[in-house]
Amino acid sequence: MAALRQAREARRPRARGIDRRGQISHITPIAERPVEMATRTVPGHWEGDLIKGAHNRSAVGTLVERTTRLVILARMDGTDARSAREGFTKKLRHVPAPLRKTLTYDRGKEMTEHEQLTQWLAIQIFFADPYSPWQRGTNQNTNGLLRQYLPKARTCRAASSTS
């Protein structure tokens, strides 16, 4: 069966390359976390994320301890990897070493400098599976509650006034 004649050429889709800017290397998957984390009996295991403001200009880093549910907010100057590393380092530096064993994070590009964070703070960083926010449920719930006080439009002003 022959196709009907057309006046225009067939559309050829453009080839898309893979975006490798800021790709995270040397990740430790969440499946390799210690078993003790699942029971939440031992403190020192943290979950982290970024709450971005309007137009991604500002951000607030959130760190939640899994056992005690302690929340630490870190003001960030931007949403890039350097800002995330500096913000988290500044806040976690004040936490005693026995209470900062692990940090679980999503695969956002803001954590491309996780190896420096590991060296400076002696903390082990694990990464959740892609598109699996439920693997960091404590942090996701906390971010939802924080959004009541830090709406997207006000994140920039609120972040600068709280630090």
What CATH number corresponds to the domain at position 54?
3.30.420.10
pLDDT of residue 92: 96
Task: Tell me whether residue 4 is in a domain.
Answer: no
85: pLDDT strictly greater than 70: yes
pTM higher than 0.85 for the full model? no
Task: Tell me whether residue 149 is in a domain.
Answer: yes
- The whole domain housing 111 covers 36-162
* Residues in contact with 94: Cβ distance below 8 Å, sequence separation at least 6, in sequence order: none
Task: Tell me whether residue 26 is in a domain.
Answer: no
Task: Tell me whether residue 116 is in a domain.
Answer: yes
Task: Tell me whether residue 15 is in a domain.
Answer: no
Question: How close are the terminal C-alpha atoms of the chain, in Å?
Answer: 71
Task: Tell me whether residue 44 is in a domain.
Answer: yes
Task: Tell me whether residue 146 is in a domain.
Answer: yes
Give the residue carrying structure tokens 């694990």. 126
Work out how many domains the chain is built from and give that number: 1
Mean pLDDT of 15-27: 76
Residue 152, CA distances (Å) to 56, 68, 147, 156, 159 in order: 9, 27, 7, 8, 11
Is-contact 107 127, C-beta < 8 A?
A: yes
Q: Residues 34-52: pLDDT tens digits?
A: 888 889 999 999 999 999 9
Task: Tell me whether residue 47 is in a domain.
Answer: yes
